[in-house]
Amino acid sequence: MRAITNKLSNEELQQRYREFEKEAVPHMDAVYNFALRMTGDEDDADDLVQETFLKAFRFFDKFEKGTNCKAWLFRILKNSYINDYRKQTKEPDKVDYEDVQNFYENIKSDQVEMQHYEQDAFTNLLDDEISSAITDLPEDFRTVIILSDIEGFTYEEIADFVDIPVGTVRSRLHRARKMLYAQLYDYAKDKGFVAKKKTSK
């Protein structure tokens, strides 16, 4: 941070602070949430968010005004997460895409009965159970579903963020939702929110 003070006058720093407060600070909750979902640990999330915002402030002259500041912050967070956090802890679980494919193929339409939608069994689930189901997803799938369904990024923005083709975003998102559905369906069934299927003799 000292480098900034060497290069910028106090007036320029004040200007940067004002712009940063207006453009970047309002996205702190979104950045914090994403950090929390990615690390699954409050202390690690705190460190990541702090590092993200300090880096963002330091390099705020690189942010193109008028573009998506939230996406820019998320990119800084992702780089910190990959370069620092994940190296210090552990490599992410390698995703065996064949396993995911097999799992996914096993979720057939016959497991999905229209009455689920009518009775809306998921309504009774706790927010914590939904959060937990998301955390249990493999990282590649968790990332796209959080960015799309919670943060509202477009496929193109997610592709840019994760550095994968748009088609892969769509494919991962499709599978992530199916996996999440299966997980939540199991929770709902265990809690008796879903009527057990009658077996014919």
Question: Is residue 49 part of the contact set for another protein (CB under 8 A)?
Answer: yes
- Measuring CA to CA, which residue among 106, 95, 187 is closest to residue 141? 95
Question: Is residue 71 part of the contact set for another protein (CB under 8 A)?
Answer: no
Task: Provide the mask over 154-173, with x wherever binding to another protein is found by CB under 8 A and - wherever it is not.
Answer: xx-----------x--xx-x
Cβ atoms within 10 A of the Cβ of 70, count?
Answer: 19
Angle, helices 28-39 vs 69-80, to 10°: value is 30
Distance between terminal CA atoms of the chain?
73
Q: Of 180, 188, 193, 194, which one interacts with another protein (CB under 8 A)?
A: 180
Q: Are 157 and 68 in contact (CB under 8 A)?
A: yes
Q: How far is the CB of 22 from another protein (least distance, A)?
A: 13
- Measuring CA to CA, which residue among 27, 139, 163 is closest to residue 86? 139
- Measuring CA to CA, which residue among 193, 150, 172 is closest to residue 95? 172
Question: Is residue 91 part of the contact set for another protein (CB under 8 A)?
Answer: no
Question: What tokens does 10 get?
Answer: 């106090």
Q: Of 19, 44, 149, 160, which one interacts with another protein (CB under 8 A)?
A: 149
User: Which is closer to another protein, CB of 12 or CB of 99?
Assistant: 12
Question: Is residue 181 part of the contact set for another protein (CB under 8 A)?
Answer: yes
Question: Is residue 77 part of the contact set for another protein (CB under 8 A)?
Answer: no
**Alpha-carbon distances of 51 from 22, 45, 119, 153, rounded to whole Å:** 19, 10, 45, 22
User: Which is closer to another protein, CB of 90 or CB of 134?
Assistant: 134
Question: Is residue 28 part of the contact set for another protein (CB under 8 A)?
Answer: yes
Q: How far is the CB of 61 from another protein (least distance, A)?
A: 14
Provide the residue type at 66 as one letter. G
Question: Is residue 177 part of the contact set for another protein (CB under 8 A)?
Answer: yes
Half-sphere exposure at residue 30, Cβ-oriented, CA atoms within 13 angstroms: 19
| Residues near another protein (CB under 8 A) | 1-2, 4-5, 10, 13-14, 17, 20, 25, 28-29, 32-33, 36, 46, 49-50, 53-54, 57, 109, 112, 117, 122, 125, 127-128, 130-131, 134, 145, 148-150, 154-155, 167, 170-171, 173-174, 177-178, 180-181, 184
